[in-house]
Amino acid sequence: MYEHDVIVVGAGGAGLRAAIAAHEEGADVALVTKLHPVRSHTGAAEGGINAALREGDDWELHAYDTMKGSDYLGDAPAIDTFAQDAPEEVIQIEHWGMPFSREDDGRVSQRPFGGMSFPRTTYAGAETGHHLLHTMYEQVVKRGIEVYDEWYVTNLAVTDHDDPEDRQCHGAVAYEIATGNVEGFWARNGVILATGGLGQAFDHTTNAVANTGDGCAMAYRAGVPMEDMEMIQFHPTTLPSTGVLISEGVRGEGGILYNDEEERFMFEHGYANNDGELASRDVVSRAELDEVNAGRGIEDEYVDLDMRHLGEERILDRLENILHLAEDFEGVDGLDEPMPVKPGQHYAMGGVETDENGETCIDGLYAAGETACVSLHGANRLGGNALPELLVFGARAGHHAAGKDMKTAEIQTGPSAKSEDGDVAPPVEPGAIEAGGEGDVAADGAMVEPKETLEHTVQQEQDRIETLLEDDGINHAEVRSNVQESMTENVNVFREESALEDALRDLRHARERYEDVAVADPSRTYNTDLIHTIETRNILDVAEAITLGALAREEFRGAHWRKEFQERRDEEWIKHTMLAWNDGTPELYYKPVELESQWKEYEPKERSY
Amino acid sequence: MSTIEQETETEEPTDEAAETAVESPGERRRADKQERTRERDQQRVDEGISESEEAITLKVFRYDPEVAGKEEPRFDDFTVPFHKGMTVLDALIYSRDHYDSSLTFRHSCRQAVCGSDALFINGKQRLACKTQIADLDSGTIRIEPLPHQEVVKDLVVDMEHFYDQMEAVEPYFDADELPEDELEEQRQDRENREKVKMSTRCIWCGACMSSCNIAAGDNEYLGPAAINKAYRFAMDEREGEQRKQERLKIIEQEHGVWRCQTQFSCTEVCPKDIPLTEHIQELKREAVKNNLKFW
């Protein structure tokens, strides 16, 4: 058994920032990650990092833009905290050597981004995430922070008190990929989940193969509610054949979208008369698909993104990486011709319910970054707001877990924050095939001692892995691809009740099939078959949560469009959809959105760009 | 562990496993299970080929220190239906998901930024995700783990030595002094940012190190990636002169820049087009200049 004050699960941007923060507070902190830190998907972020740094801009404007972008589903205490902390965090990484793009006077450059009222997006070419990830990993090396790389965390050690709010997290169990060794990681202070996105629940995604929603699924099964899971961002500019992301920076620098009739449709068809291509991502994604559905798509599939008019010099200076991506993954020379683009799954706004300090309702369990839902992004995340989020809330979670004295959070978490029971009628039973029978937190009150909890969880994971390795059964890959295909077909940009029900049926079928899954590779050495099989279980749980949320939310807000409900319905729906695992029988309920913080109060307005 | 030099070629998976003497009931079960899996896989291979008009063949290095039939390195053939735009990584994923789920390789981002899937493809270090099958211009593609590194299993090599070398150059920004105001950035002019730009693109894939003859013969040689990392900081004016002196000392050591014989193999294989050899040469010049200064 390994022992540390703070265990951080995942070593992308949020995890690295959390580890550095905990270390700053004097904690003995360790990163446990299924990849090596520099392989994390933060490295694929392209566009930039928003922060109000300059004269004429201030945090309140950034907060206002973020709240508007969230379509009034973001919580004001989270948004205001975020916008206030972002400038310090951005300058902090500059002090850590981040190679930002620069102005003539040597200061950090900022460019316009969608939904921003001020050009406040700092960037490093079109490979901002790569530089951010490496800069922070360098600081982890400098501090000598312990990294357990290629250790896959498969479960959390959480006591099984009846009420999730009474439970405590004492650590995690991880599988060493190289050797097959299963070990307990005892966390004296806390565990921070920073496992990133869940894009692998879909089959056309900008997300890495590793983004399987592990943190969400583990926290969910341990009793932490999932918040606003239906809020999935589809990025408007992904390459059609692979889902590789083409940065919003292209449009920020002046790139233009054209349909098959060479119309600049964002303006000519009235989707966003003021901001055009730089409208919020949900708006642009829907516009593109509307064009395709109206028969004006190119090859009935995509639209063109043209940046040629920016000139070679500017493109090479600020967007060079885009040229490589378009060439390598679509065979297109962006200097010479427009790039084909279509919407692709990009980001989960929802996730593990936390407060502004990264705390979940389970004592000692935190989440930060894309895994978490504070809620900062509400129904739609603005471009350039994900990287500052992982800095701000990664740092806050790290500080808090290490024992720093912080202001009490305003946001309420856990089932006690419930304001209303949920009302959703799925066509099939959601949740575990055999509720309570698969080693989730059992909630029978039997296991409450810290060490016993960890030991029990280690045993449980060893048994689970042995069973998967020893049994005969079907391979997980087909189950996974069925889920991905159904999600992309039925729970996409445009959603309707019958398709969402189809998805739930498909997911139920996939869950049943998963009961027969086994790992064919008998080896204890670097068994990726086993890792992927465990991941697929996580994908099932998050995909179902997304779909249940989408079926429940009967309105059109932000990224969530419903055929039957074409309007934002503020009177009824300014509330978060919450999903509790509830020992394998998921329960949907609502909690209020906080439109007021100690600093500001927001009034929902019509969202137009 | 085995190195790639020990490889031997054998045919498609055979029933070796069943013939291997097994001791414990657990091992016997595993061997039986493996055998059933192979039969099933072979069936799927046959089905796959018949459906496909245009197909390519992957010849993939296999090795697993604890699995019967794989302890001795061998090559397995996988026939994969080809489609336009297909990369070597796509073909590997297809092979794994359709034929043999134990086929093991690292990969994550699929877009040449995570640096997980540097492999030895048709005799050259390349990123599998960035290598178009059409560009290889051969119906049979030979895929091996990166040479000169310990093989853990199949295409997975032990990266520890590479990481150790990276960390040996103190690979972190460490300015002599910082602005007092915590909201004030350090200034850096565009030219200086441009100077370090290419060096900051390194994705730690290890292709360069694997291609380097010197690194193959001298295990302590820092290698192109680590020296490039040192370059990235030594040339960054934000750090200051004192730190630069310390950095030059590190790269000037016995197993540092002077080992490089400018064969350009690292530069040739770098998937991010980093002019590694030039960076090493420039650091040599800096070191010489520096030593003259202190004479």
pLDDT in tens, A222-252: 999 999 999 999 999 999 989 999 999 999 9
Angle at Cα B266 formed by Cα B262 and Cα B268, nearest 5°?
A: 100
Contact between chains at B108 and A210 (C-beta distance less than 8 A): yes
Which residue segments constitute the domains of chain A, with CATH numbers given? 1-231+349-419+431-609 (3.50.50.60), 233-345 (3.90.700.10)
Contact between chains at B197 and A125 (C-beta distance less than 8 A): yes
Angle between helix A476-490 and A528-552 (nearest 10): 30
Comparing CA positions, the residue from B22, B12, B7 lying closest to residue B63 is B7
pLDDT of residue B29: 57
Residues in a beta bridge with A192: A8, A366
Q: Per-residue confidence at B4, pLDDT binned at 50, 70, 90? A: very low
Q: Which two tokens stand for residue A416?
A: 């006690």
Position with higher pLDDT, B9 vs B183: B183
- Closest CB from A104, A210, A520 relative to B102: A520
Q: Which two tokens stand for residue A253?
A: 């620098």
Contact between chains at A107 and B31 (C-beta distance less than 8 A): no
* Chain A to chain B Cβ contacts (< 8 Å): 178
Q: Could you report the per-residue pLDDT of B236-248, keeping only the tens digit for each?
A: 999 999 999 999 9
Strands A151-158 and A256-258: unpaired
Q: Per-residue confidence at B291, pLDDT binned at 50, 70, 90? A: confident
**B49 in A contact zone (CB under 8 Å):** no
**B180 in A contact zone (CB under 8 Å):** no
Position with higher pLDDT, A317 vs B202: B202
Q: Which residue in chain B is spatially nearest to A46 when comparing CA positions? A: B113
Q: Which residue in chain A is spatially nearest to B238 when comparing CA positions? A: A97
pLDDT of residue A444: 58
pLDDT of residue A434: 85
pLDDT of residue A493: 96
pLDDT of residue B15: 43
pLDDT of residue A547: 98
Comparing CA positions, the residue from A405, A393, A380 lying closest to residue A83 is A393
The whole-angstrom distance between B80's CA and the closest CA on chain A is 17
**Residues of B (191-250) whose Cβ lies below 8 Å from A:** 193, 196-197, 200-201, 203-204, 233, 236, 238-239
Contact between chains at A481 and B97 (C-beta distance less than 8 A): yes
% of chain B with per-residue pLDDT over 70: 82
Mean pLDDT for each consecutive 10-residue tract of chain A (609 residues)?
98 98 98 98 96 97 97 98 98 98 97 94 96 98 98 97 96 98 98 98 97 98 98 97 92 96 97 94 95 96 97 94 93 96 97 98 98 98 97 98 96 97 95 73 68 95 96 96 97 97 98 97 97 98 98 97 96 97 96 97 93
pLDDT of residue B5: 42
User: What span, in angstroms and rounded, lies between the C-alpha atoms of A568 and A560?
Assistant: 10
Contact between chains at B153 and A525 (C-beta distance less than 8 A): yes
pLDDT of residue B219: 95
The whole-angstrom distance between A55's CA and the closest CA on chain B is 13
Test the A interface: residue of B114, B131, B177, B274 with most A CBs within 10 Å: B114
Ranges of beta strands (E only) in A10-150 are 29-33, 49-50, 110-111, 121-122, 146-149
Contact between chains at B85 and A241 (C-beta distance less than 8 A): yes
**Residues of B (56-85) whose Cβ lies below 8 Å from A:** 64-67, 85
B225 neighbors B209 (Cβ within 8 angstroms): yes
HEC letters along A253-321? CCCEEECCCCCCHHHHCCCCCCCHHHCCHHHHHHHHHHHHHHHHCECCCEEEEECHHHCHHHHHHHCHH
Contact between chains at B193 and A529 (C-beta distance less than 8 A): no
Q: Please state which architecture CATH assigns to domain B160-293.
A: Orthogonal Bundle (1.10)
User: What span, in angstroms and rounded, lies between the C-alpha atoms of A375 and A592?
Assistant: 11
Note the ipTM here. 0.95
Q: Which residue in chain A is spatially nearest to B179 when comparing CA positions? A: A95
Test the A interface: residue of B67, B108, B154 with most A CBs within 10 Å: B108
Q: Which residue in chain A is spatially nearest to B272 when comparing CA positions? A: A324
- Closest CB from B37, B101, B183 relative to A477: B101
The whole-angstrom distance between A525's CA and the closest CA on chain B is 7
Test the A interface: residue of B101, B104, B152, B204 with most A CBs within 10 Å: B101
Instruction: Specify the amino acid at residue A482.
Output: N
- Catalytic annotation, pick one of A23, A111, A235, A377: A235
pLDDT at B26 over 80: no
pLDDT of residue B182: 87
User: What span, in angstroms and rounded, lies between the C-alpha atoms of A413 and A367?
Assistant: 13
- Closest CB from A40, A135, A328 relative to B112: A328
- Closest CB from B106, B111, B196 relative to A325: B111
Q: Could you report the per-residue pLDDT of B78-112, keeping only the tens digit for each?
A: 999 999 889 999 999 999 999 999 999 999 999 99
User: What span, in angstroms and rounded, lies between the C-alpha atoms of A77 and A469?
Assistant: 47
Test the B interface: residue of A24, A41, A46, A91 with most B CBs within 10 Å: A91
Instruction: Specify the amino acid at residue A25.
Output: E
- Residue written as token pair 């039986």: B32
A456 is catalytic: no
Contact between chains at B108 and A523 (C-beta distance less than 8 A): no
Contact between chains at A470 and B108 (C-beta distance less than 8 A): no
Domain ranges of chain B: 4-157, 160-293
Q: Which residue in chain A is spatially nearest to B41 when comparing CA positions? A: A520
CA-to-CA separations, A75 to A51, A167, A373, A575, A597, in angstroms, rounded = 18, 25, 10, 10, 8
- Catalytic annotation, pick one of A161, A167, A251, A296: A251
Which CATH fold would you assign to the domain B4-157? Ubiquitin-like (UB roll) (3.10.20)
Q: Which residue in chain A is spatially nearest to B107 when comparing CA positions? A: A209
Within 10 A of A165 (CB to CB), how many other CB atoms are there? 16
Contact between chains at B109 and A39 (C-beta distance less than 8 A): yes
Contact between chains at A104 and B190 (C-beta distance less than 8 A): yes
Kindly report the average pLDDT of chain B as a whole number: 88
- Quote the radius of gyration of chain A (alpha carbons, Å): 23
Q: Which residue in chain B is spatially nearest to A316 when comparing CA positions? A: B194
A354 neighbors A375 (Cβ within 8 angstroms): no
**Residues of B (1-30) whose Cβ lies below 8 Å from A:** 26, 29-30
The C-alpha torsion from B22 through B24 and B30 to B32, rounded to 10°, is 50
User: What span, in angstroms and rounded, lies between the C-alpha atoms of A459 and A450?
Assistant: 15
pLDDT of residue B84: 86
Q: Which residue in chain B is spatially nearest to A477 when comparing CA positions? A: B97
Q: Which two tokens stand for residue A179?
A: 């050797």
Strands A169-176 and A182-193: antiparallel
pLDDT of residue A423: 87
Q: Could you tell me which residues come within 8 angstroms of residue B19 by beta carbon, excluding any fewer than 6 positions away?
A: none
A537 is catalytic: no
- Closest CB from A139, A528, A529 relative to B172: A139
- Quote the radius of gyration of chain B (alpha carbons, Å): 23
User: What span, in angstroms and rounded, lies between the C-alpha atoms of A165 and A232?
Assistant: 27
User: What span, in angstroms and rounded, lies between the C-alpha atoms of B163 and A462?
Assistant: 30
pLDDT of residue B28: 64
Contact between chains at B109 and A44 (C-beta distance less than 8 A): yes
B254 burial via Cβ count (<10 Å: 0-12, 13-18, 19+): exposed
Contact between chains at A39 and B114 (C-beta distance less than 8 A): yes
